[in-house]
Structure 1
Amino acid sequence: MTITASAFFAARLEFQTDVSDVSVALASGEPGFVLIDSRSAAAWQQGHIPGAVHMPTGEIVARAGELDPAVPVVTYCWGPGCNGATRAALAFALAGHPVKEMIGGVEYWIREGLTLRTPQGEVEADADPLTVVCGC
């Protein structure tokens, strides 16, 4: 049982990342991945993570070749109640790209008080006090 559990959690860390780690990597200026927003055009316009590339899930098969297949991809969608980032990650994996899914999506990006790019410019929501001091 322990071997199965350790393999499961190791695989999760290999194929998932979180909002905090993505934020830190983007802030470094050299994140080592391309961040993909797989939501609709309307959702993208409403607000997206600065530095992300907009590639809706339905366009990935046709557009995956626009990206260097040697550079890892990190996908995000709305949040934990949506499997869009999972479907996007699968599409990239099937196209031969190394890929991770950003768990929490843009919902948790906002909840952590991180900046979004909108048509009005950069905006920042107040952080949800339950997400600010995770400590992990």
Structure 2
Amino acid sequence: MPTVEVTDLADGDFLLDVREDDEWQAGHAAGALHIPISEFVARYGEFTEAAPQDGRVHVICRSGARSAQVTMYLVQQGIDAVNVDGGMQLWAAGGRAVVDAKGQPGFVL
């Protein structure tokens, strides 16, 4: 399983958040693409339109389990995807910005 640490992510890296809507609305990384894991296959076209054509996709969830599933799916599709180890929990614990659905300071649900 290709994996990266939260500390390895740079500003501007493409981030795909696969948590559910309530988790996203409570708090997420600004600029991330949100497609819940429960809708991912149905919304795959939306992902391919937004994803970088020649860059890496960093997949994140709360702790790393759901994002691991999506990462494996993307790798099977030939996409350069990596799982963000520790997910949004480590993102927030590392002091990275978390915003809610209104762009205000959020929290990880």
TM-score range for the pair, normalised by the shorter chain length: 0.7 to 0.9
- Normalised to the residue count of structure 1, the TM-score between the two structures is 0.66
User: What corresponds to 1:39 in structure 2?
Assistant: 19
Q: Residues 105 and 37 from structure 1, CA distance in 2 versus in 1: closer, same or farther, beyond 3 angstroms?
A: same
1:77 aligns to what? 61
Instruction: Tell me the residue number matched to 1:134.
Output: none
* Structure 1 residue 21 displacement after superposition: 1.5
Task: Report the TM-score when normalising by structure 2.
Answer: 0.80
Structure 1: runs of 5 or more not aligned: 1-11, 126-136
State yes or no: 1:107 paired with 2:89: yes
Give percent identity, aligned residues only: 26
Secondary structure of the corresponding residue to residue 4 of structure 2: strand
Aligned-partner Cα distance in 2 for 1:50–1:93 = 24
| Number of aligned residue pairs | 103
Q: Structure 1 residues 57 and 119 mapped into 2: Cα distance closer, same or farther (>3 Å)?
A: closer
Taking a change above 3 Å as real, the CA distance of residues 92 and 59 of structure 1, as seen in their structure-2 partners, is farther
Match of 1:95 in 2: 77
1:45-86 deviations in whole A, cap 9, x for unaligned? 111011210012233333143234432111011015xx1010
Please state which structure has a larger fraction of its residues in helix: 1
Q: Secondary structure at the match of 1:44?
A: helix
The correspondence for 2:5, drawn from 10, 18, 30, is: 18
* Rg comparison, structure with higher value: 1
Q: Relative contact order (alpha carbons < 8 A, sep ≥ 6): 1 or 2 greater?
A: 2
Structure 2, unaligned stretches of length 5 or more? Answer: none
Distance in 2 (alpha carbons) for counterparts of 1:58 and 1:16: 22
Task: Output one character per residue of 1:8-37: Cα deviation in whole Å (capped at 9) or x when no partner.
Answer: xxxx6xx11111121xx11xx4x3xx2100
Q: Secondary structure at the match of 2:58?
A: strand
The CA RMSD over aligned residues, in Å, is 2.1
The runs of 4+ residues in structure 1 deviating greater than 4 Å are none
In the alignment, is the contact (CA less than 8 A) between 1:60 and 1:92 conserved in 2?
no
